[in-house]
Amino acid sequence: MNPLYLQVKKRITESLAEGLWNPGQSIPSEVELAQSFSVSQGTVRKAIDELAAENILIRRQGKGTFVASHDEEGGQLRFLRLTSTQNKKENLDNHLVSFTKEKATNKIAKSLGVNIGTTVVSIKRVLTFNQKPLILDFIKVPASSFRKLTSEMIVEKKGAMYRMYETEFGIQMLRAQEKIRAVAADADTSELLGVKKNTPVLSVERISLTYSDKPIEWRLGLCLTENHHYASELD
């Protein structure tokens, strides 16, 4: 049997997955949780410490403990991202190329933990920085989890996908698994990114996970890195 604090951690995570406490909302105090779970306050504190270390919860001195949110600076998981080599602040814009529904292939089904042939929403878009194409994104999500997702919604939210998942669908991305390699741009990629065919681009394949490590999004980003580098912040 797992140590008691891990059992408490699991129960808190299950409550979060069920939507008992929403992103940005405070959770009950350690004393209240200890009474609810019939454990000591120290056991609850240790469970919360682990969830805070995983960026699932955020402690605020004098205010309490809150559910992490992508809508709040410093409160979200910091996924790897492209950064200007000159550290310039850039304006991001989202250009939707296509929005369709299709059947999951073997690869996508395995990545999302669904059956082959399951309906998925397929999104293709170009992200521009300061009006220059930088990233070609291919995104697949289970249609059953995003029934009300529309192309208009993506355009309206200006491509802030994780924030939209959270605010519109109650789905929070907690961590990601990524595979990074260099590839040559094919004809479609070169046209959409405005470069010559076979130009080297950075391929970033990402599976984003929500509570209990449930995969909820597969994404392939093809990125130009002439004036950008791929950066991560690790705690």
Q: Give domain limits for the chain.
A: 4-67, 81-231
The CATH topology of domain 4-67 is: Arc Repressor Mutant, subunit A (1.10.10)
pLDDT at 92: 73
Rounded average pLDDT over 120-135: 92
Interior/surface letters 195-218, b for 16+ CB within 10 angstroms, e for the rest: beeeeebbbbebbbbbbeeebbbb
- Res. 119 pLDDT band, cuts 50 70 90: very high
Distance CA 165, CA 63 (A): 26
Per-residue confidence (pLDDT) for residue 88, from 0 to 100: 64
Model's pTM, two decimal places? 0.77
pLDDT of residue 234: 47
Asked whether the predicted pLDDT for residue 74 surpasses 50, the reply is: no
Q: Is the pLDDT of residue 235 over 60?
A: no
In the chain, pLDDT over 70 holds for what percent of residues?
89
Distances (CA, A) of 95 to 112, 159, 160, 188, 191: 25, 8, 12, 15, 14
Distances (CA, A) of 183 to 61, 78, 118, 174, 186: 46, 25, 29, 28, 9
- Inform me whether the pLDDT recorded for 32 exceeds 70: yes
User: Has residue 174 got a pLDDT over 90?
Assistant: no
On the question of pLDDT at 194 being above 90, the answer is yes
First-to-final CA distance of the chain: 29
- Comparing 4-8, 26-30, 171-175, the range with the smallest average pLDDT is 171-175
Q: What is the mean pLDDT of the chain?
A: 86
Mean pLDDT, rounded, for 79-101? 77
Fold of the 81-231 domain: Chorismate lyase (3.40.1410)
Question: What digits encode the pLDDT tens for the residues 49-65?
Answer: 988 887 788 888 888 89
Indicate the pLDDT class of residue 87, thresholds 50, 70 and 90.
low
Which residues on neighbouring strands pair with residue 60, listed in sequence order?
A: 64
